[in-house]
């Protein structure tokens, strides 16, 4: 079996990328970013976003869209709990495997 120049170049290229196919499977690369996001949602910025969402829900309710206003209000109330939900979900997934 003879390979053309393009096929040989493609095979060599794929050989060099074989190690990076498994990069990021452990999740350690995104851990600092997730820590920053979760601390932000549970801290000062999360409270600002929650207050803005409650205000937005009042504004939406004044326009008569009560279901949308209720959804935005609930999102504003639970925004601080999102990191805990995500952490518990993925901790259970990784412990189960």
Name, in order, each residue with C-beta under 8 angstroms of 53's C-beta and a sequence gap of 6 or more.
72, 73, 75, 76, 79
> What is the full per-residue pLDDT of the chain (97 aa) written as tens digits?
676 788 878 887 777 776 655 555 566 667 788 788 888 878 888 888 889 999 999 999 999 999 999 999 998 888 878 878 777 776 655 554 4
- pLDDT in the model for residue 24: 54
Sign, CA torsion 79/36/97/24: positive
The pLDDT value given to residue 87:
76
pLDDT at 78: 86
The DSSP H or E segment spanning 26 is none
Could you tell me the two tokens for 58? 């009042």
> Could you tell me if 57 and 70 are in contact, meaning their C-beta atoms sit under 8 angstroms apart?
yes
Backbone angles phi, psi at 73, to 5 degrees: -60, -45
pTM score of the predicted model: 0.55
């Amino acid at each position: 079996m003879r390979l053309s120049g393009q096929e040989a170049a493609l095979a060599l290229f794929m050989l060099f990328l074989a190690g990076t196919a498994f990069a990021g499977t452990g999740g350690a690369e995104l851990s600092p970013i997730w820590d920053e996001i979760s601390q932000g949602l549970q801290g000062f910025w999360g409270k600002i976003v929650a207050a803005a969402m409650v205000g937005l829900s009042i504004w939406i309710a004044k326009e008569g869209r009560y279901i949308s206003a209720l959804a935005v209000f609930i999102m504003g109330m639970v925004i601080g709990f999102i990191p805990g939900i995500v952490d518990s979900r993925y901790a259970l997934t990784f412990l189960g495997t």
